[in-house]
Structure 1
Amino acid sequence: MNKRKLFSAIALLLCLSFNFQLTAQVNLSEKLPLDNKVKIGKLANGLTYYIRPNSKPEKKVELRLVVNAGSILEDNDQQGLAHFTEHMAFNGTKNFKKNELVNFLQSIGVDFGADLNAYTGFDETVYILPIPLSDPANFTKGLQILQDWAGGISFEGKQIDDERGIILEESRLGKGAEDRMFRKIYPKQYEGSRYAQRLPIGKDSLLKTFKHSAIKRFYADWYRPNLMAVMVVGDIDVTETEKLIKQYFGGLKNPANPRPRIAATVPARTKNDALVVTDKEATNFQIELNYSTAKTKPEITVEDYRRNSIIKSLFTSMLNQRMNELAQSGNPPFSFAGGNFGSYARGYEAFNAFAIPGPKGPDTALQAVLTELERVKKFGFTQGELERAKKQQLASIERSYNNRDKTESGVLVEEYIRNFLQQESIPGIEREFEYKNGLMPGVQLAEVNALANELKKNEKLFIAFQGPEKSNFTLPNKTQLIAAAESASTIPVKAYEEKAIAASLLKSVPTAGSLVKETKNEALDIIELSYSNGTKVIIKNTNFKQDEIILTGFKKGGTNAYGLTDKYSAAYATSAIQQMGIGEFNPVDLRKFLSGKTANANIGLNALSTRVSGNSSIKDMETMFQLMYLNFTQVRKDEALFKGWKDKIKSQVQFMMADPTSAFIDSVYKVMYGGNPLAPSAIPNATDFDQINLDRAIEIFKEQTNDANDYTFIMVGNIDLNTVKPLLATYIGGLPSKGKKGAFVDNGLRILPGQKDLIFYKGKEPKSFIFNIYSGDATYSEQAALHTEMLAEILNIKIIEELREKIGGIYGGGVNGSLNKYPFQGYTMVLQLPCGPENVEKLSIAATAEIEKIKQNGPEQKDLDKVKKSLLEKYAVNMKDNRYWSGLLQGIYFSENDPTRILNYKDIVTAVSIEDIKKAATTVFDSKNRINAVLFPEK
């Protein structure tokens, strides 16, 4: 036996021994432990608290107030008021008058909506408050805010009435074909249950007219300490935090005669049923199969964990792999399909399957899903499928375990929310790693296949079919859908057949290139390596994550180099090639090969460059490089897979213009570019895909990838230079090179100059959309780009204050845009305001007024300070993030940004003045080139 085989044998024996020991140590009847890193306690008033010290990110804490009460508890005169209560928490409390709370949080760097937020569900309301600890006093202020939300919301009459408009705008935002169809299907899915009658958004008619006493009653009944949890996860001291929680929340009192918090029930389905719903504005078909709902039990023992978190997960993973395999075939019966165990109802679970029909229509899609379910019922899965699914789960938990000390506080606190509300187990990543490694090898195929018995036992189905009113298909009716389900057991099926796949990605290892230069940038702590084929690699070694490697790369060029004849072949070259696979692997076989590996790499073409993106664990880094190498050198042509993908895409986009907003945006784009045939499509048209020439698409892709010269690659993560250098020499230094330099190409495409006012009428709902575009030429500098970014954020503060809070005319919306350097120097700013038709003029005037104020006088100092604080708080967090650093380095090497700005960012931001922002506003809102477009509903 040679040394390599000997070491492999020893490693295998050690691995087997390790798994045996773990299995022997795991007692299935053992109660699942609680992670000892989190302190869970309960105050005398019944309030539960979770405290977890965590230093990722540093100097920041995630606060949550979790209320075990949602829309399911509303009385008939309160429908929508659980959600309304959540809104009122931001409209005045005992210690913060209206606007004071949001103003304070913005002043310490917390963005409203992006950071500060909340949500209301059927069974719970959760308040999200991330607090920067750059000032330690922020922590107690944050706890004060949570205390106010828990027991001190003001509910002033004027504030309630003013908020009605904002809530109704949120409701309006969700209206459309999808919502109309959902509101017909959902009550049938949960028929006989309170869940069918209590959508969190409520009823518009009641939201307009409810009495103030109704919302105060909801708050008094359900916002009580014995239904609440306070969660503190971050860079804090446990002992001090526990004292503060007792201080701030110990005085909260429960009602003298509390209403019982009763869980809603969901009756089992007693018969097969179906519903067909169509809408003229629908953009796609969908079929959903819901099996009968059954009550679940919380995970208490290791055996529960084994069944729910391992066996059930393996079952759904393997089923969805089969569905993906069909969807990615050369003759796909549907565009997408899948299945899972879940439910809107807490404490209940059902198996659900869905399909998005493809070019063959809904009948074929439904039959294909039923066939796959029958195949699983009759034959189960194969041992090969099981082993791949096991490998994938073990690879996932291993990476989480390796990064356990670098897990973000926001991830941890989400686990604690589920533990409080749903009794989800939280044994901690160390114990989960132990359980999965110890239990996974012992999971037998028969156990996973036995889950199909659940479908056999509970075969009462509800089938929902929805989609456009008119199509090329004869749509099924209710009777036909039920008949298809009831006859499914007679479908002739064969057992799934495994197909052999290649044992390695590459047939031979590339000839390595030579390293010709190595330099170090001490200031940025990066290594620059140059290779003989003209490639350059930038390496930044970090400890932000213990097991994360981020790879990016680029070469200037891209699809702008191609004219009108090649427009669609170039635009869709990346998508088409990704659908056909690489080397000897089609996408399905490649996914199977990569089971158990944490590695991916892709190449994509955009207007200005060819881009490489990839990531991996440390141990799978070579696999990532091999995938990248194959993408560069071995494009795979498969006409059947290309046709299957093209037909699917065409079927998905054929009804897109039925959606009023999509049709509106598409029309605005056509006006923006004056019908220039080189302009990008806002909404793809089905006929676009018929203009793709596969051979030409492959040729274009190869033209952009067959010459490695002038490619720059960036690696960020936990990288050992001695380990990575041989891999870089082989898989990057070994790429073929012809010596051609990359260059930006300006194809002359511009937004047309001048002022245009456009009005469109489409849609049956009373919905409007203000869409204003400002554009033009402007001299680029990084400083001017920063000022433009800050201007947009200042305007968004004013839009929240004036258009949302004072006028009550919008729920969401705002300004975004940028100053561009390539392929020409210029700017684009976009204002988007979804609203009611009756408020279009009022909001347009108000938005213009805010822009003009800044043009004339500059921003208010307090608003500029808020944006500065927000940028600096984000910078402090992002500087410990691998992907952020990857982006910074791309800016230096692709856009030729000044590297010193990274280290001097704090001083640069701090120095920005009111006059700087005023100048930026004068530049980008000069009114010379402006499109004012408004969508109105059909007359």
Structure 2
Amino acid sequence: MGIINKMAFKTLVLLIVFVPLIVFSQDKLQQPLPLDPAVKIGKLENGLTYYIRKNGRPEKKVELRLVINAGSILEDEDQQGLAHFTEHMAFNGSKNFKKNDIVSFLQSIGVEFGADLNAYTGFDETVYILPIPTEKKENVEKGFQILEDWASTIAFNAGEIEKERGVVLEEERLGKGADDRIFKVTYPKMFEGSKYSNRLPIGKAEIIKSFKPDVIKRFYKDWYRPNLMAVIVVGDLDPTEAERLIKKHFSNLKNPVKERNRDLATVPPRSKSEGLVVTDKEATNHVVEIYYPYHQVKEEKTVGDYRTYLVEILFRNMLSQRMQELTQKAEPPFVFGASNIGGWARGYEGFNSFAYVSKGGPKPAIEALMQENERARKFGFTAAELERTKKVMLKSIERSFNERDKTESDNLVEEYIHHFLNREPIPGIENEYAYYKEFLENITIEEVNRLTAEKIPADNAPKLVIFTGPDKADFKIPTNEELLRIAEEASKTEVKRYEEKEIATSLIQKAPAPGKIVNESENKELGTTTIKFANDVLVILKPTDYKNDQVVMNASRFGGQYLYDPKERLNAEFASTAITQMGVGQFSPVDLRKVLAGKNASVSPRIGSVSESVSGQCSAVDVETMLQLTYLYFTEPREDAELFNSFVTKQQALYQNMTSDPQYTFQDSVIHILYEDHPWAPKLPTPETFSKIDRHRALAIYKERFGDASGFTFVIVGKFDVEEIKPLLKTYLGSLPSTGKVSSFKDVGLRANKGPIQREVRKGTEPKSFIRIFWNGEAPYSEAEQLKLQALAEVMNIKITETLREDLSGIYGGGMYASLNKYPYSYYSVGLSLPCGPENVNKLIKASMDEIVKVKTKGPSEADLNKVKETWKQQYLVNIKDNAFWARQLLQNRELGIEPSSILTYEKRISAITSNDIKAVANKYLDTTNYVQVVLNPEAHN
């Protein structure tokens, strides 16, 4: 038999083998997408939908959600803002809970207001977030009672409505500024002809100020009804018990006799192209946006739909990477740019592009966006791009699959929320992993390019081109007509095919000679192994099963920027940033992304004030890649003039108008008031900052700090075997260059000013103020004292919420922070931040000082202190099974000279804190006659 006949025979065999599989695959594509078998979905007789899933991460905790299929889009003309206001009122009293009882109870069981307990309102939905510890059955029962009350018996007490007006108006005030003013002009144009154009969830201030209680009650009665609700229960709770509690608390809820239709708002297609230019003197960045017509989204119902979805993800990711590459030029067309498919209107999506404009103005940015879109539409992508993107997607789904029994409940909850509201598929990770493996391999470049040509609108498609930003004398602002003309001309420019550049296929061509271990010890209590190498590098290993596919690395040693002359400050400050912009070894950042396709590993070096550090993470099979990257960052930082100039150009563009922002000016003033003209005082960047960085000197400083690894401690935590990782550690960490020289830090004498100092800063046109109060000074460091000082801040935050927010209606957010620091000298730092209205500044300062006096005089109540302790306990129970927590804590304890085992005594130490301890630290650190107070007021404030 000749060669040709042999090949023909092989072809025939292949056809016989594969044709039945293709037929089966086509059959399979018509099948409906399955529902995740791990979740139980049910419906009560009144129409309420529920989702229940048993999940053990984190242990002894359940995530509860009440999802209302109603948001601001359903408001009547006289209700604008009241969907959101209803959400606020849910925390201000109900049938079974008086005002603040909900928040107080939840704080007492360790659920933190704002961080854990929360809610949000969108155009089409309102979602209440309630995590509950499951250690006590009665707390779980009470959690379901809270959900029931939110769903059916919010009190809407007239007095509480009056108080809450101030809180909601403060939230609305927080959003005020240039971006908000610009958005209120551009957004209605984006959704012209649709109800979405005039139903922003925050609503109208005039309605919030004056609505009558019956108006908000009408919204609640119309739309908070069981057939528009879902209850979602995911966590460490028996599913049978969860279902019993749902039926007990929600079966008796009734729908209105006369229901209002829950219709979806429509978005009419754009019929003509337009340009829109909006400027504001306080804007900080010039931005270009291009919106094409919105169209209705096809619901994904079949396996074939899911396959099409994968093709679309491939196209989106590849287009995104091309946009990123454009920013690597010495004179980039934009600082950042992207094209995508999406939208805010439920059931609709559209193709859009946007970019932060660089120094060249809107023309090169628009040309780059449109021409890159057209290049993809006309010529598609390359086979090499497709293969890399497939690898990235497969790696991502593989990690999710590997972690399927270690996925946190709050991540799972989000999937079920989207399924209820938007009918997004939830086939379950096992099915999705199977689809990825089966379909990605057989998706061809021709198929992707066909979809790309369909999804990217043609040159003549109607478009809305928006240009926004500051109106500066040195920057030519186009008219509406000129802006559109730029886009139309850009769409007619001929484009060429994308050219793929050849790159090396491996990070390191030849592995370094392994180093030697000189000492090794175990700490069985902590489950750690400590290895000392001959090059004076120390490695602490903690293998865990907290995640199935995660390894976290943290490393540091003393050193840092303060070792250099203040004249070298900028070169030292931006040295590590410059390196990450230029790459390592043979690879630019873009090339690095390509060579790492299919791997999950990242490493980031940093030079701080008193230390240099490295952080990294990877999947369990990519530990060697992470260590190779680490080795390269120590030994082969890359110098690239074009990429450095690109970095400088982009940063200058970002910061060229930053001083227009009142908050920027305020922060700059605060720094000057605290530190005056000290050469190492913190500084906010300006365009001139980046022009002063010397590339060669920055690289030299980087090499000085990382070219000698002596004294570095690495902590590696996660899924690995100690014996299997040792050879890799020897090769890539034990071989790092070392002189044995001891690296230390320097105290440059930077100290914050003490008070009493009171200053006012005038900036901005909006009626917005900001209060900052600081207490700083030297104090001996101890772990116990640090804990007490942080407890003081948390107790104060409870009182700030109760008094300044709930009683005085003077703030939406804000609070106190505190820390005790050991390096470069022992000092404490306490700060109070309160955004508010100018009319409330003096009242809020007095109320804050009154609360400080109370805690200094009497100490906190046992109830408030116990709330803090319980919150910390619940957080600790989660953290103690988190790889990143262990990596961070083990390294920090070593830096501070603290016994590593103190990690295990945390609960005991917080239990020992008393009210008298808090009273003592309040008197020690909060001297109300010795503080720095800076207030931002608007320019026109009287």
The one-letter code of the counterpart of 2:771 is I
- Matched position secondary structure for 1:405: coil
Show the counterpart of 2:564.
Answer: 562
CA positional deviation for 1:488: 3.3
The one-letter code of the counterpart of 1:200 is P
- Matched position secondary structure for 1:340: strand
Which of 606, 631, 651 lines up with 1:604 in the alignment?
606
Distance in 2 separating the partners of 1:498 and 1:801: 60
- Matched position secondary structure for 1:509: coil
Change in Cα spacing, 1:93 to 1:468, as seen in structure 2 (3 Å) is same
The one-letter code of the counterpart of 2:417 is I
CA positional deviation for 1:446: 2.0
CA positional deviation for 1:243: 1.2
Show the counterpart of 2:12.
Answer: none
CA contact (8 A) 1:461 1:485 kept: no
CA contact (8 A) 1:22 1:437 kept: no
Show the counterpart of 2:126.
Answer: 125
CA deviation vs aligned residue, 1:617-653 (integer Å, no higher than 9, x gap): 1111111111110000001111111111101101101
State the aligned residue count: 921
CA contact (8 A) 2:292 2:457 kept: no
CA positional deviation for 1:485: 2.6
CA contact (8 A) 1:20 1:438 kept: no
Q: Please tell me whether residue 408 in structure 1 is matched to residue 426 in structure 2.
A: no
- Matched position secondary structure for 1:101: helix
- Matched position secondary structure for 2:896: coil
- Matched position secondary structure for 1:520: strand
Distance in 1 separating the partners of 2:631 and 2:479: 51
The one-letter code of the counterpart of 2:181 is R
The one-letter code of the counterpart of 1:500 is E
CA contact (8 A) 1:716 1:882 kept: yes
CA positional deviation for 1:413: 0.3
Distance in 2 separating the partners of 1:157 and 1:446: 64
Show the counterpart of 1:5.
Answer: none
Show the counterpart of 2:396.
Answer: 396
Show the counterpart of 1:250.
Answer: 251
Distance in 2 separating the partners of 1:893 and 1:727: 23
Show the counterpart of 2:116.
Answer: 115
Which of 634, 640, 662 lines up with 1:660 in the alignment?
662
Matches within 5 A, 1:711-750: 711-750=712-751
Distance in 2 separating the partners of 1:543 and 1:362: 51
Matches within 5 A, 1:834-853: 834-853=835-854
Matches within 5 A, 1:282-293: 282-293=283-294
TM-score computed with the length of structure 2 as normaliser: 0.96
The one-letter code of the counterpart of 1:855 is K
Which moved further from structure 2: 492-501 or 468-477? 468-477
Distance in 2 separating the partners of 1:179 and 1:277: 12
Matches within 5 A, 1:180-219: 180-219=181-220
The one-letter code of the counterpart of 1:581 is G
Show the counterpart of 1:8.
Answer: none
Matches within 5 A, 1:701-720: 701-720=702-721
- Matched position secondary structure for 2:405: helix
Show the counterpart of 1:619.
Answer: 621
- Matched position secondary structure for 2:456: helix
Structure 2 residue runs of 5 or longer lacking an equivalent are 1-16
- Matched position secondary structure for 2:679: coil
Distance in 2 separating the partners of 1:609 and 1:343: 44
- Matched position secondary structure for 2:374: helix
Which moved further from structure 2: 641-650 or 800-809? 641-650
Show the counterpart of 2:435.
Answer: 435
CA contact (8 A) 1:557 1:610 kept: yes
The one-letter code of the counterpart of 2:699 is I
CA positional deviation for 1:778: 1.0
CA contact (8 A) 2:781 2:821 kept: yes
Show the counterpart of 2:863.
Answer: 862
Change in Cα spacing, 1:19 to 1:770, as seen in structure 2 (3 Å) is farther
Show the counterpart of 1:373.
Answer: 373
Show the counterpart of 2:798.
Answer: 797
Distance in 2 separating the partners of 1:108 and 1:796: 17
CA positional deviation for 1:697: 0.7
Show the counterpart of 2:682.
Answer: 680
Distance in 1 separating the partners of 2:295 and 2:933: 53
Which moved further from structure 2: 710-719 or 748-757? 748-757
Distance in 1 separating the partners of 2:87 and 2:218: 14
CA deviation vs aligned residue, 1:800-831 (integer Å, no higher than 9, x gap): 00000000000000001201111111111111
Show the counterpart of 1:76.
Answer: 77
Distance in 2 separating the partners of 1:173 and 1:492: 46
Show the counterpart of 1:6.
Answer: none
CA positional deviation for 1:704: 0.8
Show the counterpart of 2:6.
Answer: none
CA deviation vs aligned residue, 1:277-314 (integer Å, no higher than 9, x gap): 00000010111111100001221001111112x11111
Give % identity: 51
Distance in 1 separating the partners of 2:899 and 2:622: 34
Q: Please tell me whether residue 914 in structure 1 is matched to residue 915 in structure 2.
A: yes
The one-letter code of the counterpart of 2:682 is P
CA contact (8 A) 1:346 1:422 kept: yes
Show the counterpart of 2:46.
Answer: 45
Show the counterpart of 1:532.
Answer: 534
Which moved further from structure 2: 560-569 or 67-76? 560-569
CA positional deviation for 1:22: 11
Which moved further from structure 2: 616-625 or 406-415? 616-625
CA positional deviation for 1:752: 1.9
Structure 1 residue runs of 5 or longer lacking an equivalent are 1-16
CA positional deviation for 1:486: 2.5
CA positional deviation for 1:893: 1.6
The one-letter code of the counterpart of 2:367 is Q
CA positional deviation for 1:928: 5.8
Show the counterpart of 1:494.
Answer: 496
Show the counterpart of 2:8.
Answer: none
The one-letter code of the counterpart of 1:678 is W
Matches within 5 A, 1:305-320: 305-308=306-309, 310-320=310-320
TM-score computed with the length of structure 1 as normaliser: 0.97
CA contact (8 A) 2:366 2:490 kept: no
Distance in 1 separating the partners of 2:838 and 2:614: 45
CA positional deviation for 1:911: 0.9
Show the counterpart of 1:3.
Answer: none
Matches within 5 A, 1:733-772: 733-772=734-773
CA contact (8 A) 1:518 1:529 kept: yes
Show the counterpart of 1:462.
Answer: 464
Q: CA RMSD in A?
A: 1.5
Distance in 2 separating the partners of 1:274 and 1:118: 37
CA contact (8 A) 1:22 1:438 kept: no
Distance in 1 separating the partners of 2:136 and 2:617: 36
CA positional deviation for 1:901: 2.0
Show the counterpart of 1:13.
Answer: none
Show the counterpart of 2:341.
Answer: 341
CA deviation vs aligned residue, 1:834-889 (integer Å, no higher than 9, x gap): 00000000000000111111111111111101000000111011101100111110
Show the counterpart of 2:637.
Answer: 635
CA contact (8 A) 1:816 1:830 kept: yes
Show the counterpart of 2:225.
Answer: 224
CA contact (8 A) 2:754 2:775 kept: no
Distance in 2 separating the partners of 1:171 and 1:335: 30
Show the counterpart of 2:13.
Answer: none
Distance in 1 separating the partners of 2:931 and 2:875: 32
The one-letter code of the counterpart of 2:590 is V
CA positional deviation for 1:654: 1.3
- Matched position secondary structure for 1:901: helix
- Matched position secondary structure for 2:29: coil
Distance in 2 separating the partners of 1:929 and 1:657: 30
Distance in 1 separating the partners of 2:201 and 2:25: 46
Distance in 1 separating the partners of 2:321 and 2:20: 29
The one-letter code of the counterpart of 2:839 is E
- Matched position secondary structure for 2:932: strand
CA positional deviation for 1:560: 1.2
Which moved further from structure 2: 346-355 or 928-937? 928-937
CA positional deviation for 1:21: 7.7
CA positional deviation for 1:24: 5.6
The one-letter code of the counterpart of 1:239 is T
- Matched position secondary structure for 1:751: coil
CA contact (8 A) 1:775 1:929 kept: no
CA contact (8 A) 1:67 1:124 kept: yes
CA contact (8 A) 1:753 1:928 kept: no
- Matched position secondary structure for 1:566: helix
CA contact (8 A) 2:754 2:932 kept: no
Q: Please tell me whether residue 272 in structure 1 is matched to residue 268 in structure 2.
A: no
CA positional deviation for 1:455: 2.8
CA positional deviation for 1:471: 4.8
Q: Please tell me whether residue 888 in structure 1 is matched to residue 878 in structure 2.
A: no
CA contact (8 A) 1:19 1:438 kept: no
Distance in 2 separating the partners of 1:602 and 1:89: 43
CA deviation vs aligned residue, 1:772-806 (integer Å, no higher than 9, x gap): 11101111110000001111111110000000000
Show the counterpart of 1:449.
Answer: 449
